[in-house]
């Protein structure tokens, strides 16, 4: 994995801020070239990747360093679902019909036109298979019921149907007052201990 999440989480906003613009094309072309160069050179976030993690939901913006903690286990978050919340169908916008393109983009959002069952498949289950995921870390937001309410059921589906364990963490995305760093790290430690046993 050539790009670590803390950096990636700051890079994906261009598609939301500049949709259909040449600025976005230029930005992502340059980013793509940089990532390809790292892949060609064999440069990854960790020297020996052991665990591939999918991080589900909006991250805790006040402590993105928690993703660095995964490196302790030679683990990397190789896919994050948050970027798909803005445009799930993956189709290109029709630049000749920009307003219709924007409308279709937002109507394709996972929360407005799909059932929970469809959302779980498109947003998580398919990615678990496509990215050869070892474990899912889901961040349940106190104030984000629309994006978090189905996560316990999602965990059951991913574990039973795909055999991939999940860790559910709870917190706010911007307010650190209720965040217990030591407790979160203890839970992550236990999760990776379980993943390690499963991998052996």
Q: How far apart are CA 80 and CA 56, in angstroms?
A: 6
Beta-carbon contacts of residue 167 (< 8 Å; ≥ 6 apart)? 135, 136, 137, 138, 187, 188, 191
Identify the residue whose tokens are 């201990």.
193
Question: pLDDT 10s per residue in the chain (200 long)?
Answer: 445 554 555 566 666 677 778 888 888 898 889 888 988 888 888 888 999 999 988 888 888 888 899 999 999 998 888 766 655 556 667 778 888 877 777 776 655 566 666 677 777 888 899 999 999 999 988 876 666 777 788 888 899 989 999 999 998 888 889 899 999 999 999 999 999 999 87
Q: How far apart are CA 120 and CA 115, in angstroms?
A: 9
Structural domain boundaries in the chain: 44-199
SS3 content of the chain, % helix, strand, coil (to 5): 55, 10, 35
44-199 CATH fold: Rossmann fold (3.40.50)
For residues 66 and 60, the answer to whether their CB atoms sit within 8 Å is yes
> Radius of gyration of the chain from Cα atoms?
17
């Amino acid at each position: 994995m050539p790009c670590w999440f803390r950096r990636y989480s700051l890079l994906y906003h261009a598609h939301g801020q500049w949709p259909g613009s040449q600025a976005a094309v230029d930005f992502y072309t340059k980013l793509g070239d940089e990532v390809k160069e790292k892949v060609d050179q064999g440069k990854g976030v960790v020297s020996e990747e052991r665990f591939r993690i999918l991080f589900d939901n909006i991250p805790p913006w006040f402590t993105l360093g928690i993703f660095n903690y995964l490196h302790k286990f030679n683990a990397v978050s190789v896919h994050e679902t948050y970027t798909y919340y803005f445009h799930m169908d993956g189709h290109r916008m029709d630049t000749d019909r920009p307003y219709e393109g924007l409308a279709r983009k937002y109507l394709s959002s996972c929360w407005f036109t799909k059932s929970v069952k469809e959302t779980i498949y498109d947003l998580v289950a398919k990615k678990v298979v496509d990215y050869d995921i070892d474990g899912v870390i889901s961040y349940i937001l106190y104030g984000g019921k629309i994006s978090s309410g189905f996560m316990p059921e999602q965990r059951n589906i991913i574990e039973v149907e795909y055999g991939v364990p999940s860790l559910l963490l709870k917190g706010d995305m911007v307010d650190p007052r209720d965040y217990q760093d030591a407790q979160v790290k203890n839970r992550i430690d236990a999760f990776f201990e379980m993943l390690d046993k499963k991998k052996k």
